[in-house]
Amino acid sequence: MPEGRNSRSVLIRNVDYSAYAELSALAKKLGTSVGALASQAFKLLVGLADAGPMLAGLPADTPALLSSLLPAARLKRKPVFIRHVGRLVVSREDLEKAPGPIFFFGIGELVFDPSVDTRLFEEKVLRIVDCGKVVIHRGLDKLAVLEKALFIREVEEKV
């Protein structure tokens, strides 16, 4: 998402300089600012950390300390990342075909069509992070969607 009202200047101490230099080079290559890329990285990290227990096949309420102790090699299912799409309509078939939990990131408008029910959504959607608009239908539990969403601008419920 572009920089906007929530953008502020911040000072971050003890940043690894080589990591900063790589981020700066990438920002120049992409024609954006280091701050915009860092914000995206922060949001992605928060989304992954929040989903940590579920990635390892543990209940979502597993304490964060336990999830941080699990090595990445013990992940039950590798997540599928869908990112940086302007508009995406997701169907039941799309979710069922995914080989692991889906992490939607940076989607302008994410639409779940009426074939997606709450059970399938909860089973297959890991997180929805940094999306402009998420469109759901009345048969999809809005609270289940919001529970998996971070940094969303708008949720619209269609009849």
Q: What would the pLDDT profile of 58-116 be if each residue is shown by its tens digit?
A: 455 444 544 454 444 445 667 899 988 999 999 999 999 999 899 999 999 999 999 99
Q: What is the mean pLDDT of residues 129-133?
A: 93
Q: Has residue 40 got a pLDDT over 70?
A: yes
Query: Rounded distance, CA 29 to CA 13, Å?
Result: 25
> What residues does each domain of the chain span?
14-75, 77-159
Is-contact 135 158, C-beta < 8 A?
yes
Query: Rounded distance, CA 124 to CA 122, Å?
Result: 6
Dihedral pair phi/psi, residue 5, rounded to 5°: -60, -30
Q: What is the pTM of this model?
A: 0.66
